[in-house]
Structure 1
Amino acid sequence: MRYAGIVLAGGSARRLSGVDKPALSVGGKPLLTRAIHALSGAGRVVAVGPRRPGFDVVWTREPVPGTGPVAALAAGLAFVPDDVGTVVVLAADLPGVRRSTVDRLVAAVGDGDGAVLVDAGGSRQWLLGAWRVAALRAALPEQVENAALRRVLGGLSVTEVPAERGESDDIDTPEDLERHR
């Protein structure tokens, strides 16, 4: 199945003193590199955030940077070709995301609107999912700035995919980073 990928690589990283999270290295590899490698099967990868050299992706920014993941998602969707039916959406702070993660999510979309990884506690990881492009575009509110991602995606038909160990981990705090170094 042909799919595209969107990596949300902006954000303010307030709990990490404003550091450039996608540039943080885990296991000798920047987090952004890990996300892009996980999307190696995608026909096109769009990164939403400040342009960083060395990546063969389409770069874009939301019209008002810092207005949240829904605004970033909308900006990325604008660069997904019309003939692509599925898009994988990943945050750029996921040290455990792999190509096999993406493959499982894409396969799980089935007849629904999308598939999201579910962590060991049963929580849906909204920034780690595969979606039908048409369903995402239809779900976007007119005002995307500062919209709640859970509210925007929560009404869609979602298949839950259990996370394998470490797949749904993200880096939000210095302690998270230390745990994955």
Structure 2
Amino acid sequence: MTARGAGASPGSAAGPDPEPYAGIVVAGGQARRLGGVDKPMLDVGGRTLLARSLDALSGADPVVVVGPRRPDVHGVRWTREEPPGGGPVAALAAGLALVDRPRVVVLAGDLRGVTPDVVGRLLDALDRQAREHPAAGPDPDGAVLVDAAGRRQWLLGAWRTAALRAAIPAAPAGHALRRVLNGLTIADVPARGDEAADVDTAGDLP
């Protein structure tokens, strides 16, 4: 199985996004509520959860997967957080070490509703202010999908790489992702349908 999908680079409704961006998929964790299974490799609708996130990042280069290397997943760069199991902030720090693009899309490895269109809307929101209102001030530091209950999905967003890197503490393991990122300027992007859906328990599997 080749997890990377083929397709046009996502962008705004006006056409493909011309500025390259990187992708990071956070695919570690121990899935305790699912009995310790390798959650990103769960099959949902004929595709693994990891493959769904990688398909959504079909326009990204490079794509970095933070977590244990999985067989038959190609076209990505692998790395691990330090220490392994150190949490999403440590995973972000490890992924960002391999990113040299000005923008980066960060996704969890357990998303069952993410699509290339979601990534395109996040990138569009990240750049929209400067494009449509150049006198209104700088663009946001990030754009994050917001679920139907109004909750920001911190591992489903597009970011200015420099702003994201500056927000990561020097010793990232164990820090709460929401507290680390909540101080940045963020554009909220409403989810459509089940775009924000992830898998935490067996009840989340369709």
TM-score under structure 1 length normalisation: 0.96
The percentage of counterpart residues that share the same residue type is: 64
Structure 1 segments (4+ residues) deviating >2 Å: none
Aligned to 2:197: 169
Letter in 1 for 2:22: A
Question: How many Å apart are 1:173 and its aligned residue?
Answer: 0.2
Cα displacement string for residues 21-70 of structure 1 (whole angstroms, at most 9, x for unaligned residues): 00000001000000000000102100000001222100000121111000
Question: How many Å apart are 1:142 and its aligned residue?
Answer: 1.2
Letter in 1 for 2:39: K
Q: Which runs of 5 or more residues in structure 2 are unaligned? A: 1-18, 128-138
Aligned to 1:7: 25
Q: Determine whether 1:26 maps to 2:25.
A: no
Letter in 1 for 2:162: A
> How large is the Cα RMSD of the aligned pairs?
0.7
Quote the Cα distance in structure 1 between the aligned partners of 2:82 and 2:182. Answer: 24
Cα displacement string for residues 111-131 of structure 1 (whole angstroms, at most 9, x for unaligned residues): 110000000000000010000
Aligned to 1:112: 140
Question: Based on CA coordinates, which of the two structures has the bigger radius of gyration?
Answer: 2
Q: Determine whether 1:63 maps to 2:82.
A: yes
Aligned to 2:130: none
Count of residue correspondences: 176
Letter in 2 for 1:93: D
Aligned to 1:131: 159
Letter in 2 for 1:68: G
SS of 1:108 mapped into structure 2: helix
Question: How many Å apart are 1:2 and its aligned residue?
Answer: 1.1
Q: Determine whether 1:39 maps to 2:68.
A: no
Letter in 1 for 2:76: V
Letter in 2 for 1:30: T
Q: Which runs of 5 or more residues in structure 1 are unaligned? A: none
Question: How many Å apart are 1:77 and its aligned residue?
Answer: 0.3
Quote the Cα distance in structure 2 between the aligned partners of 1:172 and 1:21. Answer: 9
